[in-house]
Amino acid sequence: MRRLVMLAALLAAGPLGAQDFSAGSEARSWNLYAEQPARFEARVVDMLCAVTGDCPENCGAGRRQIGLLRAADGVLVYPNKNAQPIFTGAAVDLLPFCGADVEVDGLMLDDPDIGARNIYLVQRVRRLDGGEWVNAQSWTEDWAARNPDADGEGPWFRRDPRVGALIEKDGYLGLGPEVDAAFIEDWF
Amino acid sequence: MQLIRIAAGVCALAGAMAAGAPLAAQAAGERIRITGEIIDTWCYFSGVMGGPEAVVGSAHHTCALWCSAGGIPVGLLGEDGEVYMVLKIEGDDASAGGDTQLRLASHEITADGMLYRRDGLNYLVVAEVVADAGIVNHSHDDFGVTPGFAIPEPAE
């Protein structure tokens, strides 16, 4: 009986204890303090659905964050970032795979001192049923399609209408135009 | 015979765990009222823009707007120092770049809602923003702005 209990513990601990998913990863380093290359298989899920059971069609159709339910151990991985180095999340890139079993490659952040567990930067994704790798960098293209009047020079975040309206109202520091003006005079 | 049944059960458990089945179930939630700042979680977790103190408050407000609008998850940095990943605010489930969370960037709020814990992260479904104190952390006094290019250089 004791041997069976030990066997059960060993089997149970196997997938749960496997924290190294770097094998085969071709992820590009971002030189982040807590990054580790991580390539693994997962099911693409709606985060709110996975956490609370509130599950609309198509993972929320673009409104919601998208998660990765890792096949090896059932851990819910939270992709916070796509592969573009310009303030862009991962939901746009993962939504087309809602409900699908995929393989992803990217960087895992694990820094318990500040609460970062299973935080992921996805760089590429492919369907397990034979799909080609797709680079996770479609956010800006999606943004441009949603903001046809925001064309012009400079990166998206300088031209985004919602961001621009809030900065115009509250300033870059968010404390009002007067605080902004005094700071800018000193800053430059 | 009993040992065989136990062994079969062990194997079934191991197989199910490998497939993620039992671990995929929703976590039980608990009612919570919590006060903290709505933050940009990627900059906070990754350190890409500097240490944790530099990527909160007014110093990081513009970047927090960019990241929120860019679909990066927002969190509530509680007074207890823990980060609570925000999945929904007052019925608005647009956690990937939605207007409600964008409007609250860098604000200190008191939220009433449900807390879920799963796989090392805290998740928050905000039923009501009980109080919104605006931006109370004037971190620009210590850090300027992060990143430094957040404010474009004024034209001559």
pLDDT of residue B156: 66
Q: What is the CA radius of gyration of chain B?
A: 20
pLDDT of residue A152: 87
Q: Is the pLDDT of residue B22 over 70?
A: no
Note whether B63 and B73 are within 8 A (CB). no
Q: Which residue has the tokens 């179930």?
A: B25
A66 shares contact with chain B (CB less than 8 Å): yes
Domain boundaries, chain A: 17-141, 147-187
A51 shares contact with chain B (CB less than 8 Å): yes
pLDDT of residue A91: 98
pLDDT in tens, chain A (188 residues): 444 444 444 444 433 444 799 999 999 999 999 999 999 999 999 999 999 999 999 999 999 999 999 999 999 999 999 999 999 999 999 999 999 999 999 999 999 999 999 999 999 999 999 889 999 999 999 999 999 999 889 999 999 999 999 999 999 999 999 999 999 999 98
CA distance B48 to B147: 9
Percent of chain B with pLDDT over 70: 83
Q: Is the pLDDT of residue B24 over 90?
A: no
CA distance B41 to A89: 11
Q: A97, A63, A117: which is closest to B71 by C-alpha? A: A63
Contacts of B45 in chain A (CB under 8 A): 34, 80, 109, 111, 114-116, 119
Question: What are the start-end ranges of the H helices in chain A?
Answer: 2-17, 47-52, 91-94, 139-146, 156-159, 161-170, 177-187
Q: B123, B146, B149: which is closest to B56 by C-alpha? A: B146
Query: In chain A, which residue's Cα lies nearest the Cα of B2?
Result: A1
